[in-house]
Amino acid sequence: MKKILTCLVLAITLTGCAAAVRASVVRVGAGPVVTARAQTARFVVWSVNSDGPRFQAILTGAVGDYGPAVTVRPDGTPDPGHGSELSLRLRHGSFRLSIGKLDAEFARAVIRWPYDRATCSIHGTVTGAVPVVAGSGTGAYRGITGAFTATISLDEDWQKGPACDETTGFQAQLLLITGTGSVRI
């Protein structure tokens, strides 16, 4: 009887542990397996030779995915001014990042960055908080929450002219946004 009782207690304990493990792992569609606890995610978003709203994105860590990204207004329409949100439209779903404050800091900083007059080039960065927009997740990212610390970097080579500034037009440009943060899905 003691042996049966011990086996019964062990079976109940293992069943409870297995249920707890199953409860912490969520699989949505054909998307990635993610856990309900906060995990580190990283992203890289870039645009080459464009001041427009379209970017490319790669995410690693807790969100391993890739796809296009578009700066949008809260209503989802494209925002070429980059003043509100970044919509990550990935293979397994989508979610948005609130980039308005970081973009405003970028706009204030970029006018203070000096051009290298000898090469007619410029480089600068700004860093700040970029939260996930509440309720924006779809597909595998439905219910995603969290925030990133993100850095916007700008590198441009401008045409040489009477002035080294935006009046001469750029020859090459890279706008790069990188971030690391903690997300829950």
Under the phi-then-psi rule, with left for phi > 0, alpha for psi from -120 to 50, and beta for the rest, what region is 76? left
DSSP for residue 116 = B
CB 174 within 8 A of CB 154: yes
Q: Model confidence over 172-185: pLDDT tens digits? A: 999 999 999 999 99
Among 20-24, 47-51, 112-116, which is the least confidently predicted range? 20-24
The percent of the chain in helix, strand and coil, each rounded to the nearest 5, is 20, 45, 35
What are 42-97's pLDDT values in tens digits? Answer: 999 999 999 899 999 999 999 999 999 999 999 989 988 888 999 999 999 999 99
Secondary structure E strands in 104-167: 121-131, 145-158
More confident position, 86 or 168: 86
